């Protein structure tokens, strides 16, 4: 009973947060609601006895990824009114399509097919069960290849990020002391030989 | 067989791609050709490794997440060979445009190749997804790499957002399949589906999302929205890259998911593919007629060709799969040549990507007009060029599978398509060139590569059996 209350509380929180992410006006608030959404899913994962993953979600996504994301959102100069144009115009059609999709999905992925009689709840693990150790064991044995490919995907992401943002031309200006002290007079002073006085033009108009 | 021996081509490609990246970082600026040649060398090494080992029966590695079979080896050979060919075109393009960023092109293309190799030899839903992501991520960044060009940035953004959406849908479908069958392993899924008659609806529900993912990667209607903008917006060698090898890989992905994993649901996915195929052939061919931009026209023609390719899968027989494979390989070769001609005609000022840039090509450069004539006739499906046999073999299998109306529809759409292909020929041969039109100038190796590309299509049209035997051999395990 208690488990169900907790589940519904977190699930409702997750749906609310997800809805707010796409509807609030302020992008910073949207990012903060996304953080709330991550917290709610971490709670759900705890209920599923995936403790390590739940904590990793909070540490990595809430702690690192979203903070960076917030910085990016704050630094970008987003004109929200321009982005919002056409949002309400398409809402009726989009709403109908979304509702129909939701109803169809609800019919298929409902109690009839995923109920407790069709798919019984797994046995709860004992007190000495170590989530982290079990995860580590399959990650480095059974799922070694996917794990390595994921690493390559991250490498490509790094290369792509650098390729898309690095400006090869120098944009920062800094003094170079080693060149400053070696400067010679010829580089700084140019002697120009010229007449001492500029002669007045012969046919200058009278003032 | 040792796991590491089986994954040797992929492993060496990873190491070589990193090496190419380092070569570019350290000597790329002083000698741009060093990056190119090291990339070519990597492809040759990997090609030799892939082709040197053809397994007699399907082998599995890494706890069944990777498989090595004839289909995988053949597709990997085609993919790497196509990538190698596209590098030569890219070099010509970059030598005409010293200002464009070229350094990251080769390493990113090699990483995309790695993704394609993993994708076509995947044996688990997880490997399929990761291979696809590796491929897509490299492609997104390749499109957007000309960041000072507005069309390229827009195309990259569109591709990225729609691609992320498609990945999400694919993952959702995979999670449903995992929820029902309790396994990520494709061969295991194949066995389990037969015992899951009661969950048929759920499995079909998951299948829909998988078909969406495949449809997006192939670029078939209604998941085609990204194709024209990406083809037109991206730099020509990038478009050429996207339009060739990844199509072969997407075919491999469809084979792995639909046939290796979900053949038990064939009657369901056949229906879905028929809808996708008819819509693509119709919309692609009709909209291509209205295009004035050559790259955009080729984009719509790709949509139509991918619809045609699906016909072979619809027949759900080993001969049909072989016919589809033959089709996609030939299509990749033709599309390579067509984009190659754009690179050939372009100057340092800009892309020659308007149809009007081809005006009177026959008088300016009879030989290259002839090569483009071969390619365009082949795309239209005129005998004796390769494209005719590709269309013919697919149609034969569709008729054999008792979908005569579908074959008839495909022929009608091909006839509509012939109109815009023949218009290209008309512009080249019967329109007089503008008075000031420049002669076509190309480096010797570019002329050689493009000629070989065009003549290969002609040769495959005269002796299609060379390639067809390979495709049939790859599809033997799927015979009932």
Sign of dihedral through CA atoms B146, B147, B153, B159?
positive
Letter string b/e over residues B407-445, b meaning 16 or more CB atoms within 10 A of that residue's CB: bebbeebbebbbebbeebbebbbeeeeeeeeeebebeee
Beta carbons within 10 angstroms of residue B49's beta carbon: 17
pLDDT at position A170 is 60
Which residue's entry shows tokens 């067509």?
B338
Asked if the model's pLDDT at residue A204 lies above 90, the reply is no
Q: Any idea where the domains of chain B sit in the sequence?
A: 2-478
pTM reported for the whole predicted model: 0.90
- For B81-112, the pLDDT digits (tens) are 999 999 999 999 998 888 777 778 999 999 99
Token output for A35? 């953080």
Asked if the model's pLDDT at residue A80 lies above 70, the reply is no
Q: Which site among B22, B119, B138 would you substitute to test the A interface, given the most A Cβ atoms closer than 10 Å to its Cβ?
A: B138
Average pLDDT, chain A: 85
- Residue contact B108–A156, C-beta within 8 A: yes
Task: Tell me how close the Cα of A94 comes to any Cα of chain B, in angstroms.
Answer: 16
Say how far apart CA B183 and CA B191 lie, in whole Å.
Answer: 11
Say how far apart CA A31 and CA B179 lie, in whole Å.
Answer: 30
- Residue contact B21–A159, C-beta within 8 A: yes
Task: Tell me how close the Cα of A203 comes to any Cα of chain B, in angstroms.
Answer: 52
pLDDT at position B295 is 93
Please give the average per-residue pLDDT across B140-168, as a whole number.
92
Helix, coil or strand: residue B64: coil
Contact assessment for residue B84 and residue B36, using Cβ atoms and an 8 Å cutoff: no
- For B246-286, the pLDDT digits (tens) are 999 999 999 999 999 999 899 999 999 999 999 999 999 99
Which residue's entry shows tokens 């998941």?
B223
- Residue contact B141–A153, C-beta within 8 A: no
Question: Using H for helix, E for strand and C for coil, what is the string for B274-301?
Answer: HHHHHHHHHHHHHHHHCCCEHHHHHHHH
Which residue's entry shows tokens 């997440």?
B65
Which residue's entry shows tokens 């079979």?
B69
- Per the model's pLDDT, the better-predicted residue between B299 and A110 turns out to be B299
Task: Spell out which residues of chain A touch residue B124, defining contact as CB-CB under 8 Å.
Answer: 146
- Residue contact B63–A163, C-beta within 8 A: no
Token output for A98? 């979304």
Say how far apart CA B267 and CA B15 lie, in whole Å.
Answer: 42
Task: Tell me how close the Cα of A184 comes to any Cα of chain B, in angstroms.
Answer: 31
Asked if the model's pLDDT at residue A116 lies above 80, the reply is no
Q: Which of B434, B274, B414 is nearest to B360 (CA)?
A: B434
Please give the average per-residue pLDDT across A134-158, as a whole number.
93
Please give the average per-residue pLDDT across B186-208, as a whole number.
88
CA atoms within a 13 Å half-sphere pointing along the CA-CB vector of B275: 10
- Residue contact B104–A163, C-beta within 8 A: yes
- Per the model's pLDDT, the better-predicted residue between B434 and A44 turns out to be A44
pLDDT at position A205 is 58
- Residue contact B101–A163, C-beta within 8 A: yes
Q: Which of B135, B136, B213 is nearest to B174 (CA)?
A: B213
Token output for B72? 């995988």
Task: Tell me how close the Cα of B335 comes to any Cα of chain A, in angstroms.
Answer: 26
ipTM, interface predicted TM-score of the complex: 0.92
pLDDT at position B282 is 94
């Amino acid at each position: 009973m208690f488990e169900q209350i907790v589940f519904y509380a977190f699930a409702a929180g997750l749906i609310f947060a997800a809805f707010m992410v796409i509807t609030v006006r302020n992008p910073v608030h949207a990012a903060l609601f996304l953080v709330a959404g991550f917290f709610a899913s971490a709670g759900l994962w705890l209920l599923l006895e995936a403790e390590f993953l739940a904590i990793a979600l909070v540490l990595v996504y809430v702690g690192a990824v979203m903070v960076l994301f917030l910085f990016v959102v704050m630094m970008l100069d987003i004109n929200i009114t321009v982005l919002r144009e056409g949002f309400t115009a398409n809402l009726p059609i989009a709403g109908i399509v979304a509702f129909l999709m939701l109803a169809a999905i609800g019919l298929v992925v409902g109690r009839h097919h995923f109920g407790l009689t069709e798919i019984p709840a797994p046995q709860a693990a004992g007190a000495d069960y170590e989530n982290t150790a079990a995860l580590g064991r399959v990650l480095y044995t059974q799922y070694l290849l996917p794990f390595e490919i994921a690493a390559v995907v991250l490498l490509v992401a790094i290369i792509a990020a650098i390729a898309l943002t690095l400006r090869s031309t120098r944009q920062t200006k800094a003094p170079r002391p080693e060149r400053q002290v070696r400067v010679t007079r010829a580089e700084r002073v140019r002697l120009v030989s010229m007449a001492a006085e500029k002669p007045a033009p012969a046919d200058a108009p009278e003032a | 067989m040792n796991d590491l021996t089986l994954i040797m081509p992929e492993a060496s490609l990873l190491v070589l791609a990193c090496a190419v990246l380092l070569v570019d970082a350290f000597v790329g600026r002083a000698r741009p050709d060093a990056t190119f040649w090291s990339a070519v060398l990597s492809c040759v090494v990997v090609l030799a490794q892939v082709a040197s080992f053809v397994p007699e029966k399907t082998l599995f590695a890494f706890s069944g997440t990777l498989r090595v079979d004839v289909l995988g080896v053949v597709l990997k050979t085609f993919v790497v060979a196509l990538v190698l060919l596209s590098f030569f075109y890219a070099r010509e393009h970059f030598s005409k445009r010293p200002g464009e960023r070229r350094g990251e092109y080769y390493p990113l293309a090699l990483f995309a190749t790695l993704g394609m190799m993993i994708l076509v030899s995947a044996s688990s839903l997880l490997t399929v997804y990761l291979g696809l992501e590796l491929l897509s991520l490299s492609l997104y960044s390749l499109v957007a790499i000309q960041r000072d060009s507005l069309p390229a940035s827009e195309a990259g953004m569109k591709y990225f957002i729609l691609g992320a959406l498609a990945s999400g849908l694919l993952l959702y479908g995979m999670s449903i399949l995992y929820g029902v069958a309790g396994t990520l392993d494709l061969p295991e899924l194949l066995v389990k589906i037969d015992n899951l008659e009661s969950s048929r609806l759920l499995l079909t529900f998951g299948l829909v999302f998988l078909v969406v993912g495949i449809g997006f990667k192939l670029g078939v209607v209604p998941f085609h929205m990204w194709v024209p903008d990406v083809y037109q917006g991206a730099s020509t060698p990038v478009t050429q890259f996207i339009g060739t090898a990844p199509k072969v890989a997407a075919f491999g992905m469809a084979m792995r998911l639909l046939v290796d994993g979900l053949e038990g649901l064939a009657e369901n996915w056949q229906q879905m593919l028929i809808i996708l195929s008819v819509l693509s052939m119709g919309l692609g061919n009709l909209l291509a007629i209205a295009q004035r931009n050559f790259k955009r026209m080729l984009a719509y023609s790709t949509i139509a060709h991918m619809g045609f390719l699906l016909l072979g899968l619809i027949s759900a027989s080993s001969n049909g799969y072989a016919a589809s494979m033959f089709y996609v390989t030939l299509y990749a070769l033709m599309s390579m040549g067509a984009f190659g001609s754009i690179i050939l005609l372009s100057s340092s000022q800009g892309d020659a990507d308007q149809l009007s840039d081809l005006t009177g090509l026959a008088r300016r450069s009879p030989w290259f007009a002839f090569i483009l004539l071969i390619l365009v006739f082949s795309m239209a499906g005129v005998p004796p060029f390769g494209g005719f046999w590709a269309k013919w073999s697919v149609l034969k299998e569709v008729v054999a599978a008792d979908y005569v109306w579908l074959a008839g529809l495909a022929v009608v759409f091909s006839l509509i398509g012939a109109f815009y292909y023949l218009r290209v020929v008309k512009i080249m041969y019967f329109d007089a060139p503008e008075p000031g039109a420049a002669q076509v100038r190309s480096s010797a190796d570019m002329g050689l590569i493009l000629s070989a590309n065009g003549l290969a299509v002609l040769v495959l049209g005269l002796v299609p059996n060379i390639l067809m035997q390979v495709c049939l051999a790859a599809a033997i395990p799927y015979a009932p």
